[in-house]
Amino acid sequence: MKISPFFCAFLLSGCIFSAPKRDIPNIGGVKGAQETATLVIKNWWQVFGSEKLNSSIATALQKSPAVMQASAKVRQQKALLISAEGVKDISADLNSSASLQKSDNPSSESYSLSLSAGYNVDIADVNGAAIAIAKSNLQSAELSLFETRQNVSNSLVKEWIKLQALYDQEPMLLNRLELANKRLEILQLRFDAGIVSIDDLLEQQQTVLQLRDSVKTLHSNIRNSNYNLIQISGGIADRDSKFDDEMLPLGFSIQAEKPLRELLGQRTDILSAWVQVNSSDWAVVKAERSRYPSISLKSTFSLTGETPSKIFDNWLLSLVGSLVQPLLDGDSRKAEVVRSKALADQNLWKYRETVVAAISALSQLLNEENRIADSISLLKKHKNALEKQFSQAKSKYKNGSGDYLSWVTIEDAIVQKQIELLSKNRDLLLVRVNIIEETGGNPSLIREK
């Protein structure tokens, strides 16, 4: 009994026509969320109640240069996928020619018309593996676009928080400048009376100059922060570009119904890393399938004649079949399989590294949140103690037993604590925004007081 080579090739294809299967490893409690994550931007920043911020983010998600670049990459990958899917096993060509020869003998003419068709039997489904790789590349591009949109929105939120903190700091800094001028007036009177030294007066003059410079720097930072917000949102900043002074959302906090680590699987970098693992697994399959035989059938129908009217009198039909098996290739195909497997291993370790880095980053943010919260609690205690001292100093001054300079000095210390508290609250908000960013922008973490 004889078995045709075509039948042998189909038997071989049954052994290799299988998709790669790899379970998602459990790394530090991060497992399986990749399969259920959806690429939908959650508008969690609406909790701040700023229409200007909401509209700016909506504009940025459509017109930001970074978003537009990532969107263009998605279109490129979609085109490549269509190209990969458009590779057909059947091909057809139509050729025609005419020739005229002149010599000492009478001129001779010839005309020809041919139609050829071919059929390639992709028994190992190499093209199927190529399509799977193209789909993975498209998925990576879509994840990159989603990550870019997240980064743009998060950057706008963080810059907006910084701007609101600057706005809130302005009246406090102006209050400090006013108190410093009062203190300078008192010291000037006491210096004229010979009560204080010139060093005390010069030191206070320097303090006033420093506060004036701080006010100018603050106004410059406010303008720059406004420019940054306009540019991030895809607009062009100018001198009239300005975000309103709104309430800093101090009641914004984080509350997780389940361990935050379980939400890491929704991060785009982890999703992208796993897509790369799948893509490299398909590359291994493609390299292995490329080592098996390929079958092609080709038929040609041709017409020839000395004149166009006789072209249909002479015709020829041919049918050719071939089976090609790689024999001597310098082990290049084998080396490609080895290379593809090594790349798959590399991407798997890269995925593990990405997950471990995400766990570490989230742990550090949670520790930083606790540290800042403790600092805020301590600053509030110091501020309360200063307010008690201020109340006592004010009472003594009104009773005639206290010093007005002490009153002003304590009041200035209270304002300084207010500015420190404002900075710490700003830092706490930024850390909490980073926590939401680290967990894939999950709005279920947000709690309003």
Q: How far apart are CA 175 and CA 68, in angstroms?
A: 45
pLDDT (tens digit per residue) in 173-182? 999 999 999 9
Q: How far apart are CA 72 and CA 79, in angstroms?
A: 11
Which CATH number applies to 19-99+109-448? 1.20.1600.10
Read off φ and ψ for residue 236, nearest 5 degrees: -115, 120
Task: Look at residue 69 and give its three-state secondary structure.
Answer: helix
Can you give the residue ranges of every domain in the chain? 19-99+109-448
**Given CA atoms 183, 186, 189, 190 in this order, what sign does their dihedral have?**
negative
Q: Which of 57, 38, 33, 32 is nearest to 47 (CA)?
A: 57
CB 219 within 8 A of CB 192: no
Q: What is the pLDDT of residue 179?
A: 93
Strand 108-121 to 90-101 pairing: antiparallel
Q: How far apart are CA 276 and CA 136, in angstroms?
A: 7
Average pLDDT across the chain, whole number: 78
Q: Which of 249, 256, 248, 246 is nearest to 443 (CA)?
A: 256
pLDDT (tens digit per residue) in 182-227? 999 999 998 998 888 999 899 999 999 999 999 999 999 999 998 8
Q: What is the pLDDT of residue 402?
A: 78
Q: What is the pLDDT of residue 387?
A: 92
Residue ranges of the chain with pLDDT lower than 70? 1-40, 87-124, 236-262, 265, 294-330, 442-449
